[in-house]
């Protein structure tokens, strides 16, 4: 039975390379000299440090540009709130999404059921497996999922015929 998996996973090698590039750029830019501006990557979180909200916004802009140049969709980033660290220093945690949440998985299943295509969707951990009798139905399901959930950078892998 033909099937494919709908997944939400960023290329963490490229994310790490982009964070390293941003760290180098922070070290060389004139407007960041003598400030506490910094960026670090821990597991699946990117932590931005700065003197003010404006500085964090500048670091975020540079990060998004570097990620885009490296082919990583900026929709993978889940930006948290700005926190005061001490004195006038601030930090912000940006999480990198990985895996489809259960509510997004249910949205995918409902979109497939409501489409009247002859395919079924099953949530399997942090992926959604879609199975159907015909390859054309699966390709139509891919197009439907992309159209319904535009806010998620979904990809499709493990296509079996």
* pLDDT tens for each residue of 119-128: 999 999 889 9
CA atoms within 13 A on the CB side of 64: 13
Residue 124: C-alpha distances to residues 4, 26, 109 (Å) = 12, 41, 12
Confidence of residue 129 (pLDDT cuts 50, 70, 90): very high
* Residue 57, CA distances (Å) to 38, 90, 134 in order: 12, 11, 48
Selection from 17-21, 30-34, 125-129 with the highest mean pLDDT:
17-21
* Backbone torsions φ then ψ of 123, nearest 5 degrees: -80, 125
pLDDT in tens, 82-110: 999 888 899 999 999 998 988 999 999 99
CA–CA distance, 158 with 3 (Å, rounded to integer): 8
Among 8, 142, 125, residue whose Cα is nearest residue 73: 8
The whole-model pTM stands at 0.84
Residues 50, 39: Cα–Cα separation, whole Å: 9
Q: Is the pLDDT of residue 159 over 90?
A: no
Alpha helices in 10-77 (DSSP H): 12-28, 53-69
pLDDT of residue 73: 92
User: Contacts from 33-42 at CB under 8 Å and sequence distance 24+?
Assistant: 36/89, 39/63, 41/15, 41/16
């Amino acid at each position: 039975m033909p099937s494919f998996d709908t997944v939400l996973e960023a290329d963490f090698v490229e994310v790490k390379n982009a964070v390293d590039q941003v760290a180098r750029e922070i070290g060389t830019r004139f407007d960041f000299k003598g400030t506490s501006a910094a960026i670090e990557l821990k597991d699946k979180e990117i932590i931005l440090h700065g003197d003010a909200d404006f500085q964090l916004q500048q670091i975020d802009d540079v990060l998004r540009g570097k990620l885009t140049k490296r082919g990583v969709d900026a929709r993978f980033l889940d930006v948290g709130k700005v926190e005061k660290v001490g004195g006038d220093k601030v930090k912000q945690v940006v999480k990198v999404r990985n895996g489809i949440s259960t509510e997004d998985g249910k949205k995918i299943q409902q979109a497939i059921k409501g489409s009247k295509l002859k395919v079924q969707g099953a949530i399997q951990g942090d992926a959604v497996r879609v199975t159907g009798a015909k390859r054309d139905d699966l390709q139509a399901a891919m197009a439907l999922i992309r159209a319904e959930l535009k806010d998620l950078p979904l990809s499709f892998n493990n296509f079996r015929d």
